[in-house]
Amino acid sequence: MTDIPGELVVALVNELRTDIGLLKHGLASLQAIDAANDFYQLPLVLLANGTERLCKCVLILKHEREHGAFPSQAILKKWGHDVRSLTDVVQQECYPAEYLKRQVAVDDQLFLSSDELLQEAIACLSHYGIGGRYYDLDVICGAHPAGESPESAWQSLEMAIVQGDATMKEMLIDPRAGNRLYEVINLRLQVTLERYFRALCHLFTLGPISEEGRRFTGAIGDFLFLRDDQLGTRDYGQLLWRSA
């Protein structure tokens, strides 16, 4: 195991706690979206930021593992804010043949590379991270942003979920459905994102960075130890309230 200086271990623990906190608050704000609350900016900023930072922590430990030193700030900035790109790099660099001897690694890689809903959700987070967060400011100042607003992109994602499910399509036109449709959509997204975050956390204890990453288990435990039968069962608002 590489002898990482104590102050850098502390900094990594603090960073990972921040990352996991952002993701939990992001899921809580996602669960709060309904007919009376369409403030998509909050889950977008929290989930995009938390995901970007968690991916970067994986790549930081991968770099340290390979080079015996942490990456420079120039390398960190070069990685950018594109969650899609960061996820692709993690897939390319952190699933070697040795790790893929584990069934959990095979399952995680297949999910990261082929789950359609995850790809669409990551596209929304990427759009937000690489420029969408300033969409309205850019419009105000005379720019012409590429693509739709982050809110519209997320609403398109929601509609794609509805259109792919006959029951939800019926709920869409049923005035008695109330907020039930939002609950079903948010649950689908929650399960998908929880699996995504868990796959990233598996790398710290099972993947090629596990020798260094195991010491950070306590900081990532909320998603690392999430079982399949627990996916979609958490009320993140209540979870955060109890831990406050």
* pLDDT 10s digits, 185-237: 999 999 999 999 999 999 999 999 999 999 999 999 999 999 999 999 999 99
Domain range for residue 181?
Answer: 6-243
Residue 154: the pLDDT is 92
Residue 34, SS3 per DSSP: strand
- Write phi, then psi, for 45 (nearest 5 degrees): -65, -40
Would you say residue 239 has pLDDT above 90?
no
Would you say residue 1 has pLDDT above 70?
no
Angle between helices 6-31 and 180-205 (to 10 degrees): 160
> Does residue 191 belong to any structural domain of this protein?
yes
**Nearest-angstrom CA–CA distance, 43 and 32:** 9
Task: Report pLDDT digits (tens) over 80-93.
Answer: 999 999 999 999 99
What percentage of the chain has pLDDT greater than the value 70? 98
Would you say residue 156 has pLDDT above 80?
yes
**Nearest-angstrom CA–CA distance, 15 and 242:** 22
Q: How confident is the model at residue 148 (pLDDT cuts 50, 70, 90)?
A: confident
Which structure tokens are listed for 37? 């609350």
Amino acid at 125: L
Residue 145: the pLDDT is 77
Q: Nearest CA to 41 among 52, 29, 51, 50?
A: 29
- Write phi, then psi, for 206 (nearest 5 degrees): -125, -25
Query: Across the strands, what pairs with 34?
Result: 37
* All residues at 6 or more sequence positions from 14 whose CB lies less than 8 Å from its CB, including other chains: none
- Report the pLDDT averaged over residues 11-21: 97
C-alpha angle 213-55-137 in degrees, rounded to nearest 5: 150
Which structure tokens are listed for 217? 């288990």
> Does residue 1 belong to any structural domain of this protein?
no
- Report the pLDDT averaged over residues 168-189: 92
C-alpha angle 39-42-47 in degrees, rounded to nearest 5: 135
Q: How confident is the model at residue 144 (pLDDT cuts 50, 70, 90)?
A: confident
C-alpha angle 172-177-183 in degrees, rounded to nearest 5: 85
Residue 244: the pLDDT is 57
Task: Report pLDDT digits (tens) over 97-111.
Answer: 999 999 999 999 999
> Does residue 46 belong to any structural domain of this protein?
yes
> Does residue 75 belong to any structural domain of this protein?
yes
Residue 214: the pLDDT is 95
Residue 143: the pLDDT is 83
**Nearest-angstrom CA–CA distance, 172 and 182:** 10
Task: Report pLDDT digits (tens) over 29-68.
Answer: 999 999 999 999 999 999 999 999 999 999 999 999 999 9
Q: Nearest CA to 66 among 211, 214, 224?
A: 211
Amino acid at 20: I
* Domains identified in the chain, total number: 1
Residue 175: the pLDDT is 85
